Amino acid sequence: MAPKKVFSSYFLTEDAQKRLESLGYDLDQSSADQLPRTEFLRRVKGVHGIICDSACQVDAETLDAAGDTLQVISTHSVGYNHVDLAEAHRRGIQTGHTPDVLTDAVADLALTLILMVLRRVVEAAAVIPTGQWCNQPTWMLGRQLRGKAVGIVGLGRIGEGVAQRLRGFGVSRILYSGRRPREEAALRVGANFVSFDELVRQSDVVCICCSLNDSTYHLFTYDVFKLMKPTAVIINISRGGVIKQEDLVSALANKIIGGAGLDVMTPEPLPTDSHLLKYPNCVLLPHIGSATVEAHEAMGHLCIDNLQAGLEGKPLPHPIPQ
């Protein structure tokens, strides 16, 4: 029997490659930083399994290009809004993702962004090469995290991880909002459930940890920013689409809020002429929330677990919720 064909839209770790080889799969993987769409569609033709990440759109066009041989789509991510689930389900193609294993990595980065914005780390670091140090006592003053109220939008696994870390900084309150109260998680971290409007009004730091869906798309608009304290900062480690980006630019330009820290934005990569780059109180990172050795090794194993189960016609251990 001919080996099952697998295409990966990104270059796999050495451990992942060895595991796929040991399973006897015929692996084709991209080494390009940005795989052109036409090249992607060409290389998925006739494959049995696709490994992708959140930067790769797997839609009806992709499934048409792959053809009837495709059995499973395994995404190397927790989020899955880049996969057309309805179309895959209609065609009987199983879909899997990699939940749980990147919680610590993303929660760590959320705290990193909070501190970078509050303490003006990027602004301060930029002074070093210029030699323009200043000894004035009021120079480069930031704000400390201790005593601040922090609001978490979405107290899921990552939101809870952020809240756990915040407790060690002596914050005054941890608030959270969502579709419903999450009483057990809230009890573990000492968080209080409030309405979304109350959260943005009361918080000194607003941290977006919810998933991107129809109800959260452009959840943060200019009107919402106007509800925030003028010194408050917003942090996004979720998906760029949760924030209406042009409204964030306006809020920064008009000093409606105190700053922003974004690991996700729209589009990605962010154009080099983006207005977000104009504001020193807006810290931008290139979507590195899960970018730790430990997280990627664990995600790789879950990704292959899903792939292997799908190619063997078994239920996936980590299926994407339908």
CA dist 277 and 238 (Å) reads 20
For tokens 């009361």, the residue is: 202
Does 89 qualify as catalytic in the annotation?
no
Supply the DSSP string of 36-103, one letter for each residue.
-HHHHHHHTTT-SEEEE-TTS-B-HHHHHHH-TT--EEEESSS--TTB-HHHHHHTT-EEE---STTH
At position 271, the amino acid (one-letter code) is P
CB under 8 Å to 162, separation ≥6 — which residues? 107, 110, 111, 152, 207, 209
Candidates 169, 166, 185, 190; CA nearest to 107 is: 166
CA dist 164 and 190 (Å) reads 9
CA dist 71 and 162 (Å) reads 36
For tokens 């914005």, the residue is: 117
Catalytic hit among 275, 287, 296, 318? 287
Using DSSP, state whether 221 is helix, strand or coil: coil
Write the CA distances from 175 to 109, 172, 187, 258, integer angstroms: 19, 10, 12, 19
**C-alpha neighbours within 13 Å on the C-beta side of residue 236:** 28
Residues classed as catalytic: 287
